[in-house]
Amino acid sequence: MSKKVLNLSLWKQADTKTEELKMKKEKTLQEVQEQISELQEEREKCDVKLKQLQNQGKKLEKLANEKERKRRNHRLIQRGLIVERVIKNPLIFTNEEIEKLLNISTHTEEYRQAYEEMINGKDMEDETDIE
């Protein structure tokens, strides 16, 4: 074979190899772009799930706060009823006068003894169960 034909053949082989490499690069680039798209979609799904879980957490916190507020309101109403039963003619007194009467009554020896007996009989670690 002549040198021209041999050179032409080598050039064609080189061109073919170059084309194959370009196609591989394009395929690899396309694969990478597809992977990026898939990962972006997955991230969007995760973001949506995260938002849902955050909202669920907020709802649970709100419910817990509401439950605690109701327990406190119930306890305050009960204690107010007790005060009104114990104090004679409670409607004629102002809140300040009621508080003064209670403060005076809590400074008696009888109160201190009863208080100490009750306290000693209780587990003070968890006061939230007291109603």
**9 confidence band (pLDDT: 50, 70, 90):** confident
Question: Is 57 in the same domain as 74?
Answer: yes
Question: Is 98 in the same domain as 59?
Answer: no
Instruction: Tell me whether residue 13 is in a domain.
Output: no
Question: Is 113 in the same domain as 97?
Answer: yes
Question: Is 73 in the same domain as 97?
Answer: no
Q: Indicate if the pLDDT at residue 2 is higher than 70.
A: no
What integer is the mean pLDDT of 97-113? 94
Question: Is 74 in the same domain as 38?
Answer: yes
Q: In the chain, where does DSSP find H-type helix?
A: 3-86, 95-105, 109-120
* Domain hosting residue 95, numbered range: 88-121
pTM exceeds 0.85, yes or no: no
Residue with tokens 């973001």: 47
Q: Give the percent of the chain with pLDDT over 90.
A: 66
**How many domains are there within the chain?**
2
CA distance 131 to 58: 27
Question: Is 78 in the same domain as 99?
Answer: no
| Residue at 8: amino acid letter | L
Render the burial of 99-121: b for 16+ CB within 10 Å, e for the rest.
Answer: eeeeeeeeeeeeeeeeeeeeeee
Question: Is 95 in the same domain as 116?
Answer: yes
* pLDDT per residue as tens digits for the range 18-74: 877 777 777 788 888 999 999 999 999 999 999 999 999 999 999 999 999 999 999
Instruction: Tell me whether residue 5 is in a domain.
Output: no
CA distance 29 to 115: 80
CA distance 97 to 91: 11
Mean pLDDT, the chain, whole residue set: 87
Question: Is 42 in the same domain as 72?
Answer: yes
**12 confidence band (pLDDT: 50, 70, 90):** confident
| Residue at 88: amino acid letter | K
Instruction: Tell me whether residue 17 is in a domain.
Output: no
* 95, HSE (Cβ side, Cα atoms, 13 Å): 1
